[in-house]
Copies of this chain bind each other. A is one copy, B any other.
């Protein structure tokens, strides 16, 4: 509680935490009193079960919801964008033109999309902690911890055939086993043109007032037929209304609210500045690539959008950590927790040294920072795949509980879906990206660094990249399958230049990963867990864990805010879209999509378009349903505004807002702009 109240600095009009709409809550630990006091609301078990079963996780990152009994899922256009790009080619560009299946037979399979629906959770903290030998080194303790986690996952998977993940909550304070039903036959039903989905482009990203139809519809199939949805959200007749209580269920990816000051300082002083520099480099390189021609521009488009989005988000986060008030509030909260813990002998002995060891780990991290950041080729899919294949061959030979997490039996299916994806790979883009990665390694680590030597083999980055990409056969998914099927022997024997290259890097990767797990991960997980236990001892389980890309519920209200002396309304309307386009004389990026322009006369312009709420969300919540106390679907989360970028570190409801597409806009868009009448009817069917 003091954690939150010490942040009252950020809570305008809120005397205590109990009055704020704060928290990304796990469904087993909702703030019951808070919701009752503030909104006179109590969730029944049936209500919660419905929310859980109707909520969908996009394994690629993102959220969604079932909105019909026939497996129909709604999410954001930008969540489906990766699949849209992979399904598009030089001739049919679904990103630009949209995609409209007017009957089941026209729905098109996504190449490599996995959806998860949470079935159950189970507290396995006792079992994980019991596996840790208290007298061993932290590195050994960490191996024991991870081995036990892999055993729990494997047992569960074998018993239930459900995807089984042990999730580390409260920075190691709790371990919960999450079981998911997994779907991989996902078909695209409808996507508007990108221009309608992300109107105004990067200029309007993170901005409100906003005018986006950032939506896409997919359908889950099972055994070749539309899935009978386990549950779904009923469509609200009126949609979100000002001041009303609304919920968001989704899969927020990651927050840092429980981190120590030293961890935050590391992010502020090392991680974020480096990441922003990298993004700026990539933005420049991709702009140059896109300049080669329209098809090159199409191929680079998604990456450019993604980079612009990250750049803006991380700039906002860095600004948040640069705020002396925020850091002072964080410091004072940490000091008071440490003082409270020190005052109780049993707690203080259990967490003795935890903060100091985490601080020491940050110092070590800073020393190897360049190795950790610049040994990698994340921008080239082929280079990544080659390295994954080499690791795959080595890892699967080990006992399950000694493998890297991503190669545990319970994760292999998901990994293979991605590794064997038939999605197109563009050699020109791959080469440009690999050259960029290699050049960055060279620039940052210098020519004598062992990684740089192994990765470049004495060549210039561009030359090395050209040879590797033009020489490899890995763009063909069958080759990748064959190598994986052939195991270590096939991989060792392969003369594919990219596999040869990845084999050369493998020992360096293993060394660095081992060091990271032993020196950093172990400390953060084990000592983070001790701090969490101290927090529980002092405050009880009254808080929510940091986001972990698992199902969370947040509550809040539909509300505008003040901006300077003026007011920002809680919603926009279609009038606003047409105003913005006309105000810029329909010049890009403020031009209307062709269908928006053509069907303007059909649209009821006063229909709500986007709206804002005080719900506590973060990246990963994209595509989350917004629903009312009756469980009715009233909106589709697609963004946060700029004042909410600080939410990674602390909640505020002053001006920070979640941004959603209004359910009425979705219907109006489907009917009047896209003439997708049967899809609209499916949503509102009684």
Contact = CB atoms under 8 A, between A and B. Distances in A.
Contacts of A567: 203, 584, 590
B565 A572 contact: no
Interface string A175-216: 000000000000000000000000010111111010000000
B576 A583 contact: yes
B204 A585 contact: no
A564 B242 contact: no
A560 B606 CA distance: 26
A591 to B, nearest CB: 13
A569 interface: yes
Contacts of A580: 569, 576
A349 interface: no
Contact of A575 (B202, B204, B578): B578
A566 B606 contact: no
Interface string A597-609: 0000000011000
A242 B585 contact: yes
Nearest to A589: B567
Contact of A605 (B560, B570, B575, B585): B575
Residue from A205, A207, A579 with most neighbouring chain B CB atoms (10 Å): A579
A571 B590 CA distance: 13
A490 interface: no
A493 interface: no
B565 A578 contact: no
A579 B572 contact: yes
Copies in the complex: 2
Contacts of A331: none
B566 A203 contact: yes
A642 interface: yes
Given A576-B576, A578-B606, A605-B578, A209 B565 contact: no
A312 interface: yes
A276 to B, nearest CB: 14
A582 B573 contact: yes
Contacts of A585: 242
Given A566-B203, A578-B606, A583 B590 contact: no
A565 B203 contact: yes
A87 to B, nearest CB: 31
B642 A565 contact: yes
A582 B566 contact: no
Interface in A541-578: 560, 564-567, 569-573, 575-576, 578
B569 A583 contact: yes
Nearest to A315: B565
Given A564-B642, A572-B583, 7 more contacts: A206-B565, A207-B565, A573-B582, A575-B575, A576-B583, A578-B605, A578-B606
29 contacts: A200-B566, A202-B565, A203-B567, A204-B566, A205-B565, A206-B565, A207-B564, A207-B565, A242-B585, A565-B642, A567-B584, A567-B590, A569-B580, A570-B583, A571-B583, A572-B579, A572-B583, A573-B578, A573-B579, A573-B583, A575-B575, A575-B576, A575-B578, A575-B579, A575-B605, A576-B579, A578-B605, A578-B606, A582-B605
